[in-house]
Amino acid sequence: MSSFPGVGDPIPDIAMQTPDGGSIKPSDFRGSKLVIFFYPKDDTPGCTTENKDFSALKDAFEAAGTKLLGVSKDPPARHARFIAKHGLTVPLASDAEEGGLSDALGVWAEKQMYGKTYMGMVRATYLIDAAGRIARIWDKVKVAGHAAEVLEAAKAL
């Protein structure tokens, strides 16, 4: 039995850093639906594609009353370079603190690659309703077609 929040639970209201040095937390979006997508690392192929896909659909998400927020452990300055390099329109936040939102949701987890075990960000997406409750969770996300699938779920919410 997982002790992490699931569908129907409130999203933990934990602040993260923005590239401009400010902070942002889920409650800042109350009254709108919110998609928070967690991804492993800026400027890697899958993460770049995922951020570009969400950026390309940002207007459609807005039309569906849904805000977007991309989250990784990368520092704010790296997010700023990533946004500039790829012309991203989706806001990004840095969840680098121990006990941050990714820890609270269980998406900062033990991973394995080439026989080595390490801590890393699980590619996962959360759809939050306007009242701040988790409406849907995608874990172990495959990037291709994901942003469009999340958009359809947001429209249906």
Please give the DSSP secondary-structure letter assigned to residue 2.
-
User: In this structure, which amino acid lies at residue 106?
Assistant: G
Q: Which residues contact 154 (CB under 8 A, 6 or more apart)?
A: 33, 35, 61, 64, 65, 66, 127
Distance CA 118, CA 157 (A): 36
Active site residues: 47
